[in-house]
Amino acid sequence: MIFVLCANPALDRLLIMKEINLNEVNRASQVVETAGGKGINVARAIKRKGGNPHLLLFEGGSTGERIKNSLEEEGFLLTNWPSGETRVTTVIHEEKTERHTVINEPGPLVSVSAVLTFLRFLENNLQKGDCLVLSGSLPRGVRLDFYALLTGVAKRKGALSVVDTSGEPLRRALSASPFMIKPNARETEEVLGFSISSWEDKLKAVKIFQNQGVELVILSDGKRGVVAAYQGEIWKVRMRKETEGGGYSIGSGDTLVGVMVKYLEEGRNIEGSLAAAVSCGLANTFYPGGGIFDLEKAEELEKNVLVERIKSQEAAGDEHSGARKKHRN
């Protein structure tokens, strides 16, 4: 079973307009509302690939009720715990520039009793061989080492833990050595304290994470692709230069995480999993919602995914020197 915790869900309200003009009246041409939050996006991607994840979330108020009803309509297996009023996230998409402006409201207050009830649920239901995905920010009232605590529970139960968050929650989770993390370049810079601007920077970063006990590291860097490290091997994953994505970047990283988790649960090899995850993440950019993508489009894009295994003696050198290229068909 794949359990996905979305501790800080949101009602994503996407406003689509030609261009923002500051200090003027702006009119949206379209408004799209979706149940969101990184964990929900991850679970949606898993479900899109045929999985049946168990979605866990704190929610409250009228907004939380709308999210819960929406997720039930999507057919999710869902368990929820009460919180203060669930937040609304406003995303402004400008068609002219393809810029995304995200306005995050503060998360609701979650009570100690709700957290303890959730922990009891996890203790009673998480089993050996399960996967626990911990994705997104933490709401108010939840301690900053919450993901580290849950990673410890997963280890004790013989389950795998996947952490996709940022800042102090990620820094503290690293101390518990989760099985997998997927920071982007900016999040990596924030946690490790140095700039991620070159191939050598990325190699240094993934090696630091692995030295902290993380088995699978996936470092994403937008159009510059992905660097992954697992069991002493390093891969570089990218699209061919002529391959273009859509204009909606929100949720593509969450889609990558969801598909990666689903494929690894099925026992697929790392290279095939990376190729599928990257192509689904790119396919997500054609839709205004996280974890939403067309399966045929993803399969078409996967033909243009290049997965390069970097030889150990070359990993410290130039990124182009002697890498063995894998073309996923």
β-strands 131-135, 99-104 pairing:
unpaired
As a dihedral over the C-alpha atoms of residue 137, residue 134, residue 81, residue 251, rounded to 10 degrees, the angle is 60
Angle at 188 between CA 223 and CA 98, to 5 degrees: 35
Q: What is the pLDDT of residues 189-222, one digit of tens each?
A: 999 999 999 999 999 999 999 999 999 999 999 8
Q: Domains of the chain: which residue ranges?
A: 2-7+38-82+110-327
Contacts of 24 (CB under 8 A, 6+ apart): none
Q: In the prediction, which pLDDT does 250 show? A: 84
Q: pTM above the 0.95 mark?
A: no
Model confidence pLDDT, tens digit, residues 37-70: 999 999 999 999 999 999 999 999 999 999 999 9
Q: If DSSP codes are grouped into helix, strand and coil, which group holds residue 72? A: helix
Q: What percent of the chain has pLDDT over 70?
A: 94
Alpha-carbon distance 119 to 149, whole Å? 10
Q: Token pair for residue 321?
A: 């020197």
Instruction: List strands edge to edge, sheet with 10-17.
Output: 30-36, 10-17, 87-94, 99-104
Percentage of the chain modeled with pLDDT above 90: 82
Q: What is the pLDDT of residues 74-130, one digit of tens each?
A: 999 999 999 999 999 999 999 888 888 989 888 899 999 999 999 999 999 999 999
Nearest of 39, 50, 2 to residue 295 by alpha carbon: 50
Residue 145 carries which DSSP code? Answer: T
**Cβ contact 101:22 at 8 Å:** no
pLDDT for the residue 315: 58
Q: Is the pLDDT of residue 317 over 60?
A: no
**Greatest extent of the chain over all pairs of C-alpha atoms, in Å:** 58
CATH class of the structural domain 2-7+38-82+110-327: alpha beta
| Contact by Cβ (8 Å): 159, 126 | yes
Pairing relationship of beta strands 10-17 and 2-6 according to DSSP bridges: unpaired
223-278 per-position pLDDT tens digit: 889 999 998 899 999 988 767 778 888 899 999 999 999 999 999 999 999 999 99
Compute the C-alpha angle 143/42/95, nearest 5°.
110
pLDDT digits (tens, 9 = 90+) for 135-171: 999 999 999 999 999 999 999 999 999 999 999 999 9
